[in-house]
Structure 1
Amino acid sequence: MDWLRDHLWEAWLGTAIVLALAELLSLDLFLLMLAGGAVAGVLTALVTDSVVVQVLVASATAVLLLGAVRPPLVRRIHGGPDLVLGPASLVGSRGIVTEPVSEHRPGRVKIGGESWLAVAEPPESVIAVGVTVEVVSITGATAHVRPVSEPRPEELR
């Protein structure tokens, strides 16, 4: 116990290192904030010998880091665009009608270089060959499309 009292800054530093290494296993940024509090304990131990002051400063720093620094970091690290895969990624893209499309008589639409079975939305419309359409939804292997006014040049290839 005397060694610990004589080497408080080393004990705080050891605690900070152990917490930082444990953070590598959890990746939740909780233990890293506690390690930050322990670093504040190291700095306080270099200034004063009072264990109570060191614990108070380390605790306050850890709580401050947990409340103010961790939430934005977690949002930034774990946030981002949603990954859309498969046919759902075609929703919103445009294509060209290759066979006439209506509600009761499905036609064909070329979307992203692939030919898709397509039905018209709204249901009462009929879409002629060569018209540019936008994919509203995908149901199974059928694209629900609606006509758009102007084609994009990259979709005409």
Structure 2
Amino acid sequence: MEFIQTIEDFAWIGWLVLILVFLVIEMLTLDFTFLMLSIGGLAGLGSDLLGAPLWVQVIIAALVAAVLVVFLRPPLLRRLRRGEDPTPSNVDALRGLSGRILATTSDISGQVKLSNGDTWTARLEGDGELAPGTPVRVSRIDGATAFVRPLPEEQIP
């Protein structure tokens, strides 16, 4: 019984450590999830300072965090991302891009020149080979390799 009483007497230290850990993680992720958890921890700390038993503190902290994650986090994320440019960039912008085969391309090796002017190491999605000059579309990027599929006749520009 003495051990449990000691834990309850010093629970406020645990709450402070938990809050600080959640805030540090939030600074690294910037996703608002750990901010909501730290606010829940703050509610647990407040209930501890008001004399609530440890099990009540945990329930209060969990409820406050859950309510904040469900109801406050989504509008905050929408507001934060309101000014973002929806245009894909970097590797995401290459998916769906058309191009032409430069060197015979198979599922093992090849080379493609994309419509944006970049030349990439390429592999064919599927079996077979594509001859130089064949129009293709990028299906995915894996490292420095573009995986391509031949364009159907009706999609050739």
TM-score, normalising length: structure 2: 0.49
Larger radius of gyration: 1
TM-score, normalising length: structure 1: 0.49
